[in-house]
Structure 1
Amino acid sequence: MNDMYNHFHALKAAESEYRIVCREKQEADRIVFSPHGGGIEPGVSELVHAFSDRCSIYLFEGMKKRNNHFLHLTSTRFDEPVALRMVKRHDAALAFHGYRDRTKMHTIAGGSDIAGAKAIVESLREAGFSAELAAENGRFKGAHPANIVNQSKKALGIQLELSTAQRRAFFDHFTFGGRRFSKNDCFFRYVEAVKRVFYCED
């Protein structure tokens, strides 16, 4: 996806139909977030909220009735000030993203924390989900230091890219309003598989 804007300041000057949701837990050493919530990459906001029991969370959410992709900023360009401050205050970070594939339910794990990404892939597979580690030179590798997920205090970041089909499978009603109240067993099994790793990492 090609970005319409090169940085958040330009986006902010031109757009208003978005919102920022953030909850910081004082005792939390890890943060779960997405720069592409709401209508930008549908289904990732609900995943982030599922981690609010033990983690700080942050969401940049597209609220347009259409064309939410205009609000997409690539992770290496995502410089929204609140997000940067929050990520840099935590030891480790986990980011949820979505990619377009309406046929295959699948997750691609990347980020600077290769061991953590690999462990999540194994946990997801054990739970019955299709998952793989991002290819070394693949577009979902997510290991660049400028990627916001890798800017935590310990530079530990895990990036999970979920296909459209996988995100759609989490909900009985895959609409903006319907997703909030229609999470199904698939959603909760997926979240628990990720938590088993992310909550127990050193």
Structure 2
Amino acid sequence: MSPSTPQRPRTSRRTLLTALAATPLLSALGTGTARATAAGDVYASNTDLYTRLPDGEGTDYARRYRRHEMADASTEARFPFHRTTVLAPHGGGIEAGTSELCLAIAGYHPATLERAQADGPVHDYWMFEGIRNADNRELHVTSRHCDDRVALALAAGSLNVLSLHGCTAAQAGAPASRPEAVVVGGRNTDFRRHLHEELRAAGFRTVDGAEVPDLGGDDPDNICNRTLLGKGGQLELTTELRQGMFGSFTRQGRAKSTNDTFRRFTAACRAAITRLEAGPDQAVL
């Protein structure tokens, strides 16, 4: 098959149509159902999506990333390096709010992309974003099938990854009376503990990913775990929690309307990363 020939999805047409019929479409705001499994995905992987939408970048989807330049030219001293990468595999209109969170946790203002704190740490980041006016759900690729080469390279070159996602309150097991919650998952138990403690101290309700297996992020192939240590962290934020972080929950309005809830959440995540990076397994031998 030539590179220009579209690849067929691995799922049969009947299976795909059945899955789509059983799962409600997301709105343009990306407030609907997240899927940790690939049952409802239209595309088998990022590569499949890029191949079948060859002209889609800039119209259907966008990819944004930053890898910070580091250099060690000394023969006598060892210089620090960036240990952590922040990911939003379903940003933009797919799981709304995760792009803005990704940038802020990485240390950048989501509207201007300028450093949020002149003396604060910054982290590498990568985002895949749905930028359609509607039907962004069709661009969802489950995290264990994420094979974007930049995303894989950033994860594989990092000791840690924090991956951000959106879910519904029902998926998180949150009651209708208090739907704002975040599911903390991933294979890095230290990272999960730090995230639980920092987020709870900041006033957020956290749910252990072990209690919600579909959102637990414990698959070794999940992009959050494809690090140098083979483990990472994953956060699944309910729609209500994400909506409460912005004055305007539209694609155009989110980056410019972050509020105190947004700032408390991102500060808690950054504090958890700082604690993680101080651990004994964070040294390069």
TM bracket, shorter-chain basis: over 0.9
Question: Within 5 Å, which residues of 2 pair with 1:152-163?
Answer: 152-163=227-238
Question: Within 5 Å, which residues of 2 pair with 1:140-151?
Answer: 140-151=215-226
* Matching residue of 1:25: 68
Q: Say if 2:194 and 2:275, in contact at 8 Å, map to a contact too.
A: no
Q: Say if 1:33 and 1:57, in contact at 8 Å, map to a contact too.
A: yes
Taking the aligned partners of 2:91 and 2:263, their CA distance within structure 1 comes to 19
Give the alignment's TM-score, normalised by structure 1.
0.95
The total of aligned residue pairs comes to 202
SS at match of 1:69: helix
The structure in which a higher percent of residues are strand is 1
SS at match of 1:105: coil
* Matching residue of 1:73: 141
Taking the aligned partners of 1:127 and 1:80, their CA distance within structure 2 comes to 33
1:118 deviates by: 2.2
Q: Say if 1:124 and 1:194, in contact at 8 Å, map to a contact too.
A: yes
Q: Say if 2:220 and 2:231, in contact at 8 Å, map to a contact too.
A: no
Q: Say if 1:51 and 1:57, in contact at 8 Å, map to a contact too.
A: no
Q: Say if 2:215 and 2:236, in contact at 8 Å, map to a contact too.
A: yes
Q: 2:269 aligns with which of 176, 190, 194?
A: 194
1:121 deviates by: 1.2
Taking the aligned partners of 1:96 and 1:61, their CA distance within structure 2 comes to 12
* Matching residue of 1:12: 50
1:197 deviates by: 1.0
Q: 2:158 aligns with which of 90, 106, 110?
A: 90
1:141 deviates by: 1.3
1:87-115 C-alpha deviation (Å, 9 max, x unpaired): 11111110000002395010000001022
1:119 deviates by: 2.0
1:101-153 C-alpha deviation (Å, 9 max, x unpaired): 39501000000102211221121111111112112561111111110110111
Taking the aligned partners of 2:231 and 2:189, their CA distance within structure 1 comes to 9
Q: Percent identity?
A: 33
Question: Within 5 Å, which residues of 2 pair with 1:126-141?
Answer: 126-135=201-210, 138-141=213-216
* Matching residue of 2:246: 171
SS at match of 2:164: strand
Q: Say if 1:32 and 1:48, in contact at 8 Å, map to a contact too.
A: yes
Structure 1 segments of 4+ aligned residues over 4 angstroms from their partners: none
Q: Say if 1:118 and 1:133, in contact at 8 Å, map to a contact too.
A: no
Q: Say if 2:41 and 2:140, in contact at 8 Å, map to a contact too.
A: yes
Q: 1:184 aligns with which of 220, 234, 259?
A: 259
1:113–1:183 CA distance, 2 compared to 1 (3 A): same
Instruction: Give the structure with higher Rg (CA).
Output: 2
* Matching residue of 2:192: 117
Taking the aligned partners of 1:52 and 1:130, their CA distance within structure 2 comes to 22
Give the alignment's TM-score, normalised by structure 2.
0.68
CA-based RMSD of the aligned residues comes to 1.4
Matched, 1:34 2:102: no
Q: Say if 1:142 and 1:159, in contact at 8 Å, map to a contact too.
A: yes
Q: 1:101 aligns with which of 146, 165, 169?
A: 169
1:165-197 C-alpha deviation (Å, 9 max, x unpaired): 000000010000000100000000111111111
1:58 deviates by: 0.4
